[in-house]
Every structure is written in C-alpha cells, then in structure tokens.
Amino acid sequence: MTQRHQRWLGAAFWTCLVAGATIWMLTGTRRTSDSRTATTVPASPASLVWESLWSATESVELQDPSGVVRVGDVAFARRATGWQEVGYVTAVRQVEDAANRVTLTTFDATPLPSTATFQVHRNSGRLGDVMATLMPPEKRERLQQKLTAAIETHAEAVTAEVLPLVVESIQTSVPLIERALGESVDRHKLEIDALVARYRKELVNDKIVPLVRAEVMPIVRKHATEPAETIGREIWDKASLWRFGWRAVYDKSPLPERELVAAEWERFVDDEITPVVEAHLDDIAEAVENIVKDLAANGKLREELSQVVSTIAQDPEARKLFRTILREAIVDNQQLREAWKEVWSSPTSRERLHRAGKRLEPILRDIGDEVMGTRESGIEPGFARILRNQILSKDRTWITITPPAANITQGENESGRPDDRERRSGEAIVLRPAEKFMPYPVVYLAK
C-alpha cells in the first residue's frame, strides 16, 4: 500500500469516527415533550455507552415526589434468588410545581409487570441507619446471646475488679461536687434570689397557694381531722394548768431559780405527749397514706403541678442558670478531673483493668470479627456497605421493584392500592418512599 493510499484510508477512518461521535452526542440527550417548563439532565456516560452498543433496553417513566433520585441510581428487582440489579436511572427532569420525572432504563427489553411496586430507598448515614446495616436482627440476637453468655461467665470477676474503682471514684467525687455546687450557688446568689422572687409572685402566690387551699387542704382535713382531734383530747386531758401556772408565776418572781416553765414543758412532752402520739402511730400512718392516695388521684392537682414544673423547666433564665451551675460544679471542675485521673490511673487501677480486660478481650474480639470481618473470611458485608456509604458516599439512594404476589389481583400493588399504571393510563408511575429501612441490596467486594 502506497503512502497516498494510507493517507486516504486514515482520512476516511477519522471522518467516520467524527461523524459517529457527532451522531452519538446529538442523540444521547433525552428531552421531554411535556408542555410544562422542564430542566433536562443528560443521560449518564454509562447509559450512552450502553445505548451506543444497541443493547435491548426498556424505559419506564416514574414520578419522584421526594426529589432524591439522581442519575445513575440503581434499580433492583426481587427475584427467586434475591435482589438483582435490573437497571439504573438515565435521566431526571425537574418540572416546575410538580414531582421530578425520572427515566429508568432496564437491561432487559421485557416490560416490567404492570402491578409491580416501585419504591425509593435512602441511606441517610445517620446512626440508626448505620446500626441497622451493621447489625440486622439475626446478628443482633446472636451478639446478645454471646454477650449474655460472657456476662454470666465473667460478671463476678469483672465486677470484683471494677466495682472498687467505681466506689472509690464516687466517694472521692461527692465531696468535691458538693463543695463546687455550694461555691457556684454562692457566686450566682443574686440571680437565684431574683429568680425565686419572680417565682414566688408568679407561681407560689398565684398558683400554688390557691391550689393548696382548694385541693390539698380539703383532703388533709378529711383524713387528718379524726386522729388529730383524738390525740388533742388525750393530750389536753393530761395537761395540768396548775403545774404550768404556778411555775410561770415562780419564773416572774425574784426567786433565784428560773425557767421552770421550760423544764415542765420538756417533762410534759417526754412523759405525756410522746406516749400519746406513739399510741396513735397506726392512725397517723393510715391518715397519711389516705392523704397521699387522694392527692395522687387528684387530676386537677397533677395537671396544675405539671404546668408549674413545665413552666420552670421551660424558663430560659432558669435553664441557663441551671446549666451554668452544673457546668461549673461538674464539667469545669478541675479538682474532680484530677481526682478521677488519680483513681483510674494509679498502678493498682491499671492492674485491675488489665485483669478485667483479659477476661473480656476474647468476646470483644469475637464481636469485632462479627461486625467487621476477619482476614480469613474477608470484610463483613454490612461493614462493606458502611464503608462505601460513609467513606465513598456510594449507595445512598436506590430503587426497588417488587413484583406482585400471586394472591394480589391485577391492578393492585402489595400495599393494596391500585397501581398507578393501571389507574392513570399513560402517566408516570409514582415512586413511593420506603416505609421501612433496608440495607443496600447487594455488596460490592474486591476479590
């Protein structure tokens, strides 16, 4: 082949390549024929490559009221062997004042069942979703059984090692916290007095005092009147006006001995009043019990006291003052930190913790293997899902297509509602948000 022929052949090749690329780019963008204003999102590169190979596909139009579906999100269909990837989102059109329109392209030209349920799932990455992915119910139950067995085996030994440290920490902390609380209260005495004065006017005088008069006192009189009158009569019968009277006169006289009335009162309390009260302790206890029962059953009293407590708890000034005192007494208490550090960092404490750790290490390692995997078996699927979701920001949103059950009639989906494709002929199927969280259906692992 001559050099001239080589040049002609090269020019023809590049001309065909440029023409094919131009046609590919011009036909690779989907547009909506909807009369409403819409923003067209180009198809993903993967969809362009797939279409350029003339693969047999089927497209389904969906409505996404949630607005979370994006180009490239994968769709899964439930098969006899489990979830299988059947397609992906190739276009998302944002329509004014309406739900997003989504084009789902499947790998198979066979139309999807008209009564299939289309749901959109989302892994938000919050702690609840992470725990549901890492520990499905069957694994959670298995780990609980292992923990229960480990606790039953080592509970006494671990408690014997750790409990003395906890007790010592509490004994050391209580005096420090009490002293710090007193100092903090003294520093904020003016603020506390102002708050108490305001509550005395707004709550005590306006709410609590009328409440006690209207609700508490009638209950107290109802149950305490009889034992109080009985005790009072017996005490009065034992009282001697003569003994108190002449001692009072003697105390006023210029005689040397004084305070005979006080001495007689002490004798009267010890010898007369105390035995009478002790004889009626059962009556007093019964009256107190009945008073407490009636007060607890009083709905108006509970409601008013709840409102008072709620008023104090929701008061911004009180909450700010309470947080400040707690922070100064506990969080910012440097003496408390040093005391705890001294307790838990001593050689004796280290030895105790080391012995406790040796007993718990096997079960902790076993749990770690259950959650994350091992070198022999590889990364655990749930942990692989979390890595892709949290580190690589993958597998955040996906679509599931659930075929109808055998006992579901034509035109209804699994929730019992008429299917959108049957109910609205020619309109897009509505993507319903999933009501229950489910992990990403498949796991991508490097081999």
Q: Residue 326 has which token pair?
A: 């707690």
Distance CA 114, CA 403 (A): 9
What's the confidence (pLDDT) of residue 244? Answer: 58
CB of 382 within 8 A of CB of 135?
A: yes
Which single residue is written with the structure tokens 């290490």? 361
What's the confidence (pLDDT) of residue 240? Answer: 61
Give the residues across from 155 on adjacent strands. none
Pairing of strands 117-122, 397-402: antiparallel
What's the confidence (pLDDT) of residue 419? Answer: 45
**pLDDT single digits (tens) 50-90:** 454 545 567 888 888 888 899 999 999 888 888 888 899 99
pLDDT band at residue 257 using 50, 70 and 90 as cut-offs: low
Contact residues for 445 (Cβ-Cβ < 8 A; gap 6+)? 378, 379, 381, 384
The pLDDT of residue 146 is above 70: yes
Give the residues across from 82 on adjacent strands. 79
**pLDDT single digits (tens) 160-218:** 888 888 899 999 999 999 999 999 999 999 998 888 888 887 777 778 888 888 888 88
Distance CA 319, CA 323 (A): 6
Longest CA–CA separation in the chain, Å: 153
**pLDDT single digits (tens) 395-446:** 899 999 988 763 333 334 444 444 444 444 556 788 899 988 889 988 876 6
CA distances from 72 to 50, 414, 426 (A): 13, 26, 25
Give ∠ CA 191-196-202 in degrees, rounded to 5: 125
Contact residues for 195 (Cβ-Cβ < 8 A; gap 6+)? 317, 318, 321
The pLDDT of residue 16 is above 80: no
Which single residue is written with the structure tokens 């229950």? 436
Q: Average pLDDT of 89-95?
A: 89
Tell which residue, 131, 120, 65, has the closest CA to residue 97: 65
Encode 356-384: b = buried (16+ Cβ within 10 Å), e = exposed.
beeeeeebeeeeeebeebeeeeebbbbbb
Q: What's the length of the chain?
A: 447
**Phi and psi of 120, rounded to 5°?**
-105, 130
Contact residues for 185 (Cβ-Cβ < 8 A; gap 6+)? 192, 325
Mean pLDDT of the chain: 78
User: Which region among 14-18, 104-108, 120-124, 145-149 has the lowest average model confidence (pLDDT)?
Assistant: 14-18
Beta strands in 47-136 (DSSP E): 58-64, 74-79, 82-95, 100-106, 117-122
The packing angle between helices 316-326 and 189-199, to 10°, is: 150
Say what the pTM is. 0.50
The pLDDT of residue 28 is above 60: no
What's the confidence (pLDDT) of residue 400? Answer: 92
Give the SS3 label for residue 376: coil
DSSP state of 46: H
DSSP secondary structure, 253-307, as one string: SSSS---HHHHHHHHHIIIIIHHHHHHTHHHHHHHHHHHHHHHHH-HHHHHHHHH
- Cβ neighbours of 401 (radius 10 Å): 22
